[in-house]
A and B are shown apart, each in its own frame.
Chain A
């Protein structure tokens, strides 16, 4: 089997502070980590590789320093990794990112499944996985809490959704997004760490992918971030005291818009 896991390097939100005036994240001096949800995607791919045989290739799109999350993935047991990095990719929104990742999956060829975490903890969009599926024109199963069965032809998985559990079957190749319920990610191994240190990680740029400059980076991004702002803090509610009868009357008045103190 040929599995691809798409991971993202994100700031460690446990260490992030918010600039109170600008309402943006202060990223300076904040350590970068593998998006925690991606560790479940990686574990799921490795679990099925261990069972069925094959390779797990980890990809990430980002600046050169994003290579460190790829080495981390190798130390946990991924077979190899590719860094997708080019100045032309900078400023990509989820649309452009998805096109770029999909182009990399096509370039790899014969991929059976692409695993994503359910979302990244920085952007929180949960769009990239589904959007890659759309770009590849592959089926997708999102929010997987449990993979029941995976074989060379198909997958059966449980989606944990608000209304309950959906059991979904799809033919391969497929795009999957994984929840943390799916598994417990393994710790890195000593041999994995030794391997990750020596691993040669190829860098794929625009020239390596079947993409034009207009389809990626800022040029290929239909959305723009206009402003990021912290929402106004909610003001406290009202606390009233009195007998049940008085309070019911008061509440009725408030709901009817009379006697409002606000």
Chain B
């Protein structure tokens, strides 16, 4: 599908392959085994300018957009879903500032994120606020020229590793979702600490941690947009980031297919290569076809965002649903093709299968995505 990639996008792909081969492949099993954040790889990613691609040129980026981010995320995910999400979560964290931040906020924060000097994270989820983001309990109370934050965010990707956090908290609990606001919180702010680090099934290289706010005072100028706009910021952020999850899923699936193809070429049973068996060929054919379809839909969603369209939440959700379901199916099939070896940790496909599962869950479960898609379709049909 390289025909869809221009010279810049091909350059991104080449850089990711080089990072993958030289820096991810040799240690991905260790990162997975030890639940270890890939700090050194983040430094290499920073040096290679990959943190610049979603940040406009005037703020120290290269301003290459969603398609570029999708290409980078897919390619890194082919090597390790955990490393890739640690990268992509920076874009998610920066999105509220990019989309709705003030000029001062953009000037202050985006250049540090583009250079990779600082990492970023987005904090919405809480113990009682998952799919129903309206259940957020974290409070932000205005006190002169400060806000005071209290509450606990859960399962925050890059938590404890990032230095800049975009956090959703309630400024007016009576108004429910309309009473939420988005804030920028920097590491080291008194009253802001890290809680439990999660022990996960997959994407174990990525850090997933609690953020705890106890009378955490932040300057009022750290409010993103206006009071009450928090959910709009969050929803726009997620609409924009979904092609990133889709790209991650496509990459994980492609990585698994690559392993399956390699194994099926080497493995002999009954005196012949197992890829000569039609039953296995049909599996490989379906895996490849599904991946290409998922990639095409992902690129379509990313391309739609880059075109400046405002109306992309349906396609963005479709890409996330389809690609993550494909990733799950393809990785399960890859384990099947590798048979007993596939089930062993010595081979990478069992990790890919564990990594794939999260793509059906986070940044909106696939059930929620299907609701989003259906509602958008029903609304469109009424307009006709």
Contacts and interface: CB of A to CB of B under 8 A. Distances in A.
Contacts of A193: 11, 14-15
B18 A190 contact: no
Contacts of A197: 7, 11
- With a 10 A CB-CB cut-off, give which of A190, A193, A194, A197 has the most chain B CB atoms: A190
Interface residues of A, number: 10
A65 interface: no
Contacts of B11: 190, 193-194, 197
A189 B7 contact: no
Given A187-B48, A189-B47, A197-B11, 7 more contacts: A187-B22, A188-B14, A188-B15, A189-B48, A190-B8, A190-B52, A194-B11
A191 B47 contact: no
Interface in A31-50: none
B50 interface: yes
Interface in B5-20: 7-8, 11-12, 14-15, 18-19
A193 B17 CA distance: 14
Nearest to A185: B22
A86 B48 CA distance: 35
Leading 4 A-B pairs by shortest Cβ distance? A190-B49, A193-B11, A189-B49, A187-B18
A15 B49 CA distance: 30
A174 B18 CA distance: 32
- With a 10 A CB-CB cut-off, give which of B7, B47, B62 has the most chain A CB atoms: B47
A194 B19 CA distance: 18
A152 interface: no
A106 interface: no
Contacts of B15: 187-190, 193
A193 B15 CA distance: 9
B373 to A, nearest CB: 34
B111 to A, nearest CB: 14
A260 to B, nearest CB: 43
Given A186-B47, A197-B7, A191 B14 contact: no
Interface in A168-202: 186-194, 197
A193 B53 CA distance: 13
A161 to B, nearest CB: 28
Contacts of B47: 186-187, 189
Contacts of A191: 49, 52, 62
**B interface majority secondary structure:** helix
B272 interface: no
B6 to A, nearest CB: 12
Contacts of A188: 14-15, 18, 48
B44 interface: yes
Interface of A: 186-194, 197
**A interface majority secondary structure:** helix
Q: Which size class do B's interface residues fall under? A: 10 to 19
B8 A194 contact: yes
A162 B50 CA distance: 41
A92 to B, nearest CB: 32
A187 B44 contact: yes
Contacts of A186: 44, 47-48
10 contacts: A187-B15, A187-B22, A188-B15, A189-B47, A189-B49, A190-B50, A190-B53, A192-B49, A193-B14, A193-B15
A135 B93 CA distance: 57
Nearest to B18: A187
A75 to B, nearest CB: 8
Contacts of A192: 49
Interface in B297-347: none
Contacts of B49: 189-192
A249 to B, nearest CB: 47
Interface in B39-68: 44, 47-50, 52-53, 62
B71 to A, nearest CB: 11
Contacts of B62: 190-191, 194
A192 B52 CA distance: 13
Interface string B1-40: 0000001100110110011001100000000000000000
A197 B6 CA distance: 13
Nearest to A197: B7
B353 to A, nearest CB: 29
Contacts of B12: 190
A193 B11 CA distance: 7
Contacts of B8: 190, 194
Contacts of A189: 15, 47-49
Nearest to A75: B11
B19 A187 contact: yes
A56 to B, nearest CB: 16
Nearest to A196: B11
A188 B18 CA distance: 8
A187 B47 CA distance: 8
Interface string B207-233: 000000000000000000000000000
- With a 10 A CB-CB cut-off, give which of A187, A191, A192, A194 has the most chain B CB atoms: A187
B380 to A, nearest CB: 38
Nearest to B51: A190
Contacts of B44: 186-187
A32 to B, nearest CB: 16
B10 to A, nearest CB: 9
A144 B87 CA distance: 35
